[in-house]
Amino acid sequence: MSAPSLVWFRDDLRLADNPALAAAAARGPVLCLYILDESSRCRALGGASRWWLSRSLAALADSLAAKGGELTLMRGDPAVLIPETTAACKTDFVSWNRRYDGAAVELDKALKAKLSAQGITVESHGANLLNEPWEVTTTAGTPMKVFTPYWRAARARGEPAAPKPAPRRIRALPLPGTLGKYVVAHGELALEPRTPDWAGGLREAWTPGEAGAREALSDFLDGAISGYGEARDRPDKPGTSRLSPHLRFGEISPRQIWHAAQAAGHAHPRLQGDIDKFLSEIGWREFSYHLLFHNPDLATDNYNRRFDAFPWRKDGTALRAWQRGLTGYPIVDAGMRELWSTGWMHNRVRMIAASFLIKHLLLDWRQGEAWFWDTLVDADPANNPASWQWVAGSGADAAPYFRIFNPVTQGEKFDPKGAYVRRWIPEIAELDDRDIHQPWKASATALKPAGISLGKTYPEPIVDLDFGRRRALDALATLKSD
């Protein structure tokens, strides 16, 4: 009989296509461990992510129990808890799936060295990307900086490996009593809000867990994938996959998504164009992790260091108005209210809201990134900062800083009937379509019957668009002159 094994769950909260779990389960009894890392080395999860994690861990525990396994929860520093656990359990094999932020990479290296020195076999696996960040390079062997050649090189590597099924059976390892002091009950992790309980909208909008991820993928491939290439930009239509939080917590793997999407394309060739576009969005996620791995300070430091001299303003009042969805620009405010209510925002609106904060308000992209990190259920350590830097112009392959989204024209183009705005800003819902994206231009005879008093029931614009644009371009000019 083999010695027991330990599998360390992190951003891979699933049974299927989980190579670390498969490797451990194939050897014999296995301790399935999740540690809420509260060490100072890692970035603390935001509130919405903590809520999702709580529900996802509960779903994982149920899935493991159905296979005969058991999820053990601990809180603390993995660098301390994992060696303590392996010693107490007399474990000779430890496996985990890799993470790619700088702190996790360093922790993995240190743990692997420490455990190996104790005679323990350690395996780390690639489970949450199609390609490891070091596998796609320029012809000179250096990291990629532009998406299109990156994705071309990634595709040239061939089709991703087929996903593996979940283990048929998992033999739980009884915990030694000496570990009791480290083990916590699910509720003791205190991941969900109590007072006030702000998560009602999240509970209505989402089903965290592996089963929820499979259902979301199936629903998408059966419906919204048709016409995705165009509908994905329309916040007034259900045109996106909504898989991002499931991917963020590893409830489904990119390989599972890839092969399911390709199977749908083979079955329905007319969908292949939409599927290719959808898979290119998975490619952007891959590129973001490539950037994060090679630039560990992506969430705090400008990728383009010229932006270190950028003259950002400090304006707490404007920042709070943006956060609360009270800027006076309906498409921006609708997005920010959707975010607060559901923990998610349509991607097109994310770009509009981010551009407004950075360029019309001239506030540092890091302030926006931090707010999204706290409020998004899909707050991703790579996607979130990479996307904010893309909008700011400071990132890799970024939109030029002088590309400034006009929230009025963006709203009119992508929410032409105002359905999205009306859903999230009911106080202006009675306005005509021609006024819904710029209520300050509506006549008094239009505002009064709609029950709108600008500055009272809905705010006046907090910045003039032309003024904000000129100010942003002037700020960019000072950067260029340095």
pLDDT single digits (tens) 283-342: 999 999 999 999 999 999 999 999 999 999 999 999 999 999 999 999 999 999 999 999
Question: Which phi and psi angles does 185 have, rounded to 5°?
Answer: -75, 160
pLDDT at 482: 45
pLDDT single digits (tens) 360-378: 999 999 999 999 999 999 9
pLDDT single digits (tens) 399-425: 887 889 999 999 999 999 999 999 999
pLDDT single digits (tens) 46-95: 999 999 999 999 999 999 999 999 999 999 999 999 999 999 999 999 99
Over residues 202-231, mean pLDDT = 98
pLDDT at 399: 82
Over residues 252-273, mean pLDDT = 97
Interatomic CA distance for residues 3 and 29, integer angstroms: 8
pLDDT single digits (tens) 106-146: 999 999 999 999 999 999 999 999 999 999 999 999 999 99
Instruction: Report which secondary-structure segment, H or E, holds 471.
Output: helix 465-481
Long-range contacts (CB closer than 8 Å, 24 or more residues apart) made by 110-118: 110/79, 111/78, 111/79, 111/82, 111/83, 114/79, 114/83, 115/82, 115/83, 115/86, 118/83, 118/86, 118/87
Instruction: Report which secondary-structure segment, H or E, holds 94.
Output: strand 93-97
Domains of the chain: 1-127 (3.40.50.620), 129-160+209-294 (1.25.40.80), 305-481 (1.10.579.10)
Q: What's the predicted TM-score (pTM) here? A: 0.97
Interatomic CA distance for residues 156 and 284, integer angstroms: 16
Active site residues: 281, 284, 312, 347, 365, 388
**Closest to 242 in 3D by CA, of 206, 277, 210, 267:** 206
